Amino acid sequence: MVQCHSELAALMLQGCEDYWAWSRKEKSHEVKLVGKRRETAHFHPKWSNGTAGVRGTRCLNYGTHYWEIRVSQRLFGTSMMFGVGTKDACLHMDSFVNMIGENDQSWGISHKGIAWHNGKGRNFTKPFRENESTTLGVLFDWQKGTLSYFKDGESLGVAFTGLNLVNQELYPIVCSTAAKTEMTLCRRRRMYHSLQDRCRAAIVAKLKEERHVDALPIPNRMRCFLKETMA
């Protein structure tokens, strides 16, 4: 757990802000995205009769990424989950299940403290207190192949290893079986890939919105390069 804290501290000091969001297209029909930058996922707006998920827009491969998810006070139900998955990971099921980790295409933990992958669960941490808001941090390190978690600033440790051996793109993913629950993206950071990436991050930090990039007198290829890191 000390190692997880040191890795996160290094990322906070040496990395940059990231601006990805929840995907408009890659989500369950039971997920409504809220906010100008699609940072809040609202699950089962009326009632729940299954499990709904949504994927993040950030590809995690070959980098180190950290993101925080603020979970609303309505924390309850069969399973609310947080993790990563491939493009083949399921985003909707008409039953109440632990959907992230239900097969070999995703890895995640539930609010009940169980770590799931390939249909198998194991005790990972204490169950979250229900009906009490919390902030969950997720640290993905491609080089080490690890997926670690933090809860309200405290390290829960490494939940999964070997993710650098996955030969498909991985993305953040969350899901919920509970009606009228919300998960909001808060802090998002990543390590730089190169000097070029560092320069891009400095520019994007000043612009943040795609319309500002479009207004720059630069070649289209450079515009596309800048937009790659934006939601």
Cβ–Cβ < 8 Å for 43, 182: yes
pLDDT of residue 196: 85
What is the structure's pLDDT at 208?
65
Whose CA is closest to 127, among 171, 189, 76, 201? 76
Is residue 148 within 8 Å of residue 124, measured between CB atoms? no
Residues 121 and 205 in one domain: no
What count of other Cβ atoms lies within 10 Å of the Cβ of residue 207?
A: 17
Q: CA of 148: how far to CAs of 68, 131, 140, 151, in Å?
A: 12, 24, 7, 11
Token pair for residue 171? 């993305």
Residues 42, 80 within the same domain: yes
Say yes or no: 68 and 113 in one domain: yes
9-61 residue pLDDT tens: 889 888 999 989 999 999 999 999 998 889 999 999 999 999 999 999 999 99
Q: What is the mean pLDDT of the chain?
A: 93
Enclosing domain of residue 35: 2-191
For residues 156 and 199, state if they share a domain. no
For the stretch 160-210, pLDDT in tens is 999 999 999 999 999 999 999 999 999 999 998 788 878 888 888 887 677
Output 12 or 135, whichever has higher pLDDT: 135
**Whether 164 contacts 142, CB under 8 Å:** yes
Q: Burial code of 97-128, b = ≥16 C-beta within 10 A, e = fewer? A: bbbbbbbebbbbbbbbbbbbbeeebeebbeeb
Do residues 197 and 184 share a domain? no
Provide the pLDDT for residue 231: 61
Q: In the chain, pLDDT over 90 holds for what percent of residues?
A: 73
Question: How many domains in the chain?
Answer: 2
CA distances from 67 to 36, 150, 214 (A): 19, 10, 27
Q: How far apart are CA 225 and CA 231, in angstroms?
A: 13
**Residues pairing with 146 in the sheet:** 141
Phi/psi for 39 (5° steps) reads -90, -15
What is the rounded CA–CA span in Å between residue 173 and residue 108? 8
Question: pTM of the prediction?
Answer: 0.89
Coil/strand/helix, residue 26:
strand
Q: What is the pLDDT of residue 205?
A: 82
The CATH number assigned to the domain holding 114 equals: 2.60.120.920
Domain match, 44 and 97 both: yes
**Shared domain check, 181 and 152:** yes
